Each structure stands twice: as C-alpha cells, then as structure tokens.
Amino acid sequence: MALPWRLLTAARLAERSRGSICRFLSTSMLRPGKVVPFQLSDIGEGIRDVTVKEWFVKPGDQVSQFDKICEVQSDKASVEITSPYDGLVKVLHYNVDDVAMVGAALLDIEIEDDSKDVAKSSEKIQGDRDQVIDGSNKKKKKNEEESELQDNLAGKILVTPAVRRIAMENNVRLKDVTATGKDGRVLKEDVLAHLRKISATAEVQAEVSPNVMGRIVGLKGYSKHMWKTMTRSLSIPHFVYSDECQVDRVIQYRNEVKDSLKDEGVSLSLMPFFVKAASRALERCPELNAWLNEEEQTLRILDSHNIGIAMDTPEGLVVPNIKNVQNLSILAIARELNRLQELGRKSAIPLGDLTDTTFSLSNIGVVGGTYTKPVILPPQVIIGAFGRAQKVPRFNDAGNVIPAYVMSISWAADHRVLDGVTVARFSNLWKHYVENPMHLLIGS
Ligand code: COA
C-alpha cells in the first residue's frame, strides 16, 4: 500500500531530525518515491534554449505544486518556472548561467510512486505548456510533445530507466536515437553512439588551426535575439540622416530639477526629454510610428507611441519600450525609464515591456562616441541614435565664438517606405523640441 506522500515525507523528516529510524512505521511499508525528471517545457515564440538565471530550490528541498523552482532567461525575456509536482528535489541538472535546452530535464523530483500522480502531473505540465505556446504552432507542438511525453511515460520507446537517464543527462531525445536492441529497444550503446555522432559533427565545425588559440562562447540570452533581429534588418535599405543639436537648454533645465527629483526617488537624465521630443514630432509625422508588412506591402500606422530604448544590460543589448508616451509627462517617462533600467540591471525585463515597440531610440552617448549609424528593428521603419553631448566652440548670432553643448543625432529609416525629405522634416521637429524643451512641458 502506498502511503500518502505527505505522510511519507513527514515520517522521513521526523526520521532525519531524530537521526534514527522511525519506529512507528515499518520500513517495509515505505516505498521509495518515484524520481521523475521535470522537463523544461516549450515557452513559445520559437525559443529553443534558455539560460538558468537563479535557482530557488536545492537538492533536499521539499516543493509543492506551483512553488517557484527557478528563473530562466530566453533571448526575449525572463520567465519564472514553477513546480508541477509535490515532491522532494533530488538533482539540479544545471548551474546558474548554464544553457538549458527546451525539452531537457531541468531537475529531478522525487514524488510518490503512484502512476496516477505522474499522469496528473504530466497533465499539469501540459496545461502549463498550453498557456505559453503561441497561436498557430500550438496545436502541432502540443501533439508532438504529448506523443513524446506519452511515449516516454507509457514506455512506447523501449528503454531501461538507466539508459533513459543517460539520454536525459546528455539532452538526447530518445526518438532521435537509432535503436539497435530487440524489438526496437534503445540500448546504452545506441545513446553513446548518438552522442559520438553529435560531437564528431561539432568537432568538424569547430576545427581551427592549432596556431590559433582561444575559446568558444555561445550566444545566449538577449544576444541571440540581437542576432535574429539584426540579420532580418540586413535586407532593409537604410537611409541615414544625421544632424547635430544644441542641448544647453535641456541640460540646464534637467540640472535645475534633478536634485529635488532625486529626493523623490526619480533619476532624471536627458533621455526622457529625447523620448518626449520624439513623441511630439511623431504627432506631426504619424507615418514614422508604423510597422511594415513586407509581404503585403502595407504600412500599419500606430496610434500608441510605444518608444523602445536600446539598453545596455549585463546580458547584452535589449530594447524595452515605454508605452503610450503620447500620454506621459517627462516625469512619468523618467519613472518608467528608471523601472526598466532597474529590471535591465537584473536581466529581468518581462516580455510585456519588450513587445509592441513602435519606434526606437538608442543613446550610445552615455558610453561615448560622437556619431553612430543605428540599425532598424523591423517591422519598425525608423530608429534614432545620439552620440555624446560635448562642449564645443560655436558662433552665436553676433558672430562671436561661444561654448555650446552639441550632440549628434542620426536617423536610419527604411528607404522603401520613407523618403529623405520626410525623415529630414521629422528630425527638424525633434531637434526643435530638444532645443526648446519648454514646449515639451505643455500638455501631458
Ligand atoms: N551625452 C552626454 N551625457 C549623457 C548622454 C549623452 N548622450 N546620455 C546620458 N548622459 C549622461 C546622463 O545625463 C547621466 O548624467 P549624470 O551622471 O550627471 O546623471 C549619465 O550620462 C548616465 O545616464 P544614464 O541614467 O545611465 O542613462 P540615460 O538615462 O541617459 O540612458 C539608457 C539610459 C538605457 C539609454 C543607457 O543607460 C544605455 O543603456 N545606453 C546604451 C544604449 C546602447 O547600448 N546603444 C547601442 C545600441 S547598438
């Protein structure tokens, strides 16, 4: 007879704390729990692997369903994974910063050896997957994963637990392995042969001259997303327009109020002014706040000014957005930027802050550099980037040389849909608002 899991656990805990064998229960009654792998389910959007950011549990910890297990970071966002089981954590298969493949075991949990519970838990895993797998792929993936899960649970793939474990520990999907055992059984040798095949392919790919030493660094986290977006942008004919603008007034205004705002917990940089100036200019040039559908050759002009801000984070470049900037004051924009920077520092920006960007800005001037050429993030049609504001000599109206803070601005626009004059007009408007920041203080 199987004891209820909680009773079994309580007995074990009591046993552990006393350091002796529990006398109330005959050990023959205690069936060892069943150790099940908890596989990383598909978190949608075509994500194939994630980086483990933080473990909330360790071997020996008791967990209940929905307890937080770990936080993982995909190339788009960070996600908290919760437990599908009540049980005891046995093994964590990854260290922090390791890359875990979707479908591989994240950790092993010992649960009551009751097949109904396993079935229940697998339903739960499937339920979790259903919530995250996105639209059109959902049904297909669900069927594939269900059959894979059922194959494994129902033993359709003939394999001993020991071989299954070797496969899991090496991220090998049993159905990819050529089985040579009786009745199609997957043998240990088959898994090892599969692994040899994979590593031979990897070695051929990684062959380098012995004179060149170094190390291979895999792309992970936000860098993977950058790879995809930048590759897509290669097909866009970029029209780049650059100008410079004087930022003395905006610096002065910011300096006047930044200390009192700091007391309120708000850090005000120049960025909120640049963001608001873009929104004001977009009100007059709405066709720049748009998404291009290349297939249909249509432009969707968007009402919300969801302005993306390129952000340098420990995980690499990421572009979260501030939503509905057209309705926000400079102070509200500063608060939002502070929030996103805080999350960015922890590489914990949620997906909601990364999606639906309609227009983007990049301030590389924080780091340095006078000029830069930004790269469009499709399906958006324009992006702006600033260099560093520097004190330089300029002529005033009377012809005298005066010191001025000057910053370069460069716009890269999709020349298939935006012409140079449109971009120049927009840039002039943006520059007008930055050079005359009092206009930004009127209205929202
Ligand atoms: N010129 C001169 N000084 C600048 C500046 C510029 N263009 N931009 C910012 N500064 C100043 C700020 O005013 C602030 O000054 P302070 O120390 O007196 O307060 C300081 O630099 C730091 O500002 P910070 O709060 O870090 O930045 P921000 O709000 O201006 O910008 C981000 C926020 C997110 C844009 C910025 O932190 C960032 O990550 N930039 C990198 C963007 C990037 O990677 N682009 C490349 C894409 S390929």
Q: Does residue 120 fall inside a structural domain?
A: no
Residue numbers of the chain with a pLDDT score lower than 70:
1-32, 42-46, 112-156, 200-209, 443-444
Contact 404, 392 (CB under 8 A): yes
Q: Does residue 420 fall inside a structural domain?
A: yes
Residues 306 and 427 occupy one common structural domain:
yes
Count of domains observed in the chain: 4
**Bond prior to 379 in cis (omega within 30° of 0):** yes
Residues 62 and 157 occupy one common structural domain:
no
Read off the pTM: 0.65
Q: How far is the CA of 183 from the centre of ligand 1 (A)?
A: 64
pLDDT on residue 440: 93
Q: For residue 388, which atom of ligand 1 is closest to its CA? A: 1
Angle at 273 between CA 444 and CA 412, to 5 degrees: 115
Tokens of 45: 């959007």
Ligand 1 binding pocket (C-beta < 6 A) is 269-271, 309-312, 317, 337, 341, 362-367, 386, 388-389, 407
Choice among 61, 128, 151, 415 that is catalytic: 415
pLDDT on residue 46: 66
Residues 394 and 317 occupy one common structural domain:
yes
Q: How far is the CA of 312 from the centre of ligand 1 (A)?
A: 10
Q: Does residue 164 fall inside a structural domain?
A: yes
Residues 241 and 310 occupy one common structural domain:
yes
Residue type, 155: G
Q: Given ligand 1 and candidates 255, 267, 363, 390, which is best to mutate, with the most ligand atoms within 8 Å of its CB?
A: 363
303 labelled catalytic: no
Q: What is the pLDDT of residues 133-142, one digit of tens each?
A: 333 444 444 4
Residues 353 and 375 occupy one common structural domain:
yes
One-character DSSP codes across 204-259: HHT---TT---------THHHHHHHHHHHHTTS-EEEEEEEEE-HHHHHHHHHHHH
Residues 365 and 256 occupy one common structural domain:
yes
Q: Does residue 125 fall inside a structural domain?
A: no
Residues 169 and 38 occupy one common structural domain:
no
- In this structure, the residue with its CA closest to atom 4 of ligand 1 is 366
pLDDT on residue 443: 63
Residues 106 and 13 occupy one common structural domain:
no
Q: Does residue 156 fall inside a structural domain?
A: yes
Q: Does residue 218 fall inside a structural domain?
A: no
Q: For residue 387, which atom of ligand 1 is closest to its CA? A: 7
414 labelled catalytic: no
Residues 381 and 325 occupy one common structural domain:
yes
DSSP state of 198: H
Residues 342 and 421 occupy one common structural domain:
yes
* Domain stops at, among 59, 82, 115: 115
Q: How far is the CA of 426 from the centre of ligand 1 (A)?
A: 23
Q: What is the pLDDT of residues 160-213, one digit of tens each?
A: 877 887 887 777 888 888 888 888 888 888 888 888 777 766 655 656 667 778
How far is it, in rounded angstroms, from Cα 31 to Cα 353? 48
Q: Given ligand 1 and candidates 330, 333, 364, 366, which is best to mutate, with the most ligand atoms within 8 Å of its CB?
A: 366
- Domain of 342 in residue numbering reads as 223-442
Tokens of 105: 């075991």
Q: Does residue 208 fall inside a structural domain?
A: no
Q: In this structure, what CATH number is given to the domain that contains residue 179? A: 4.10.320.10
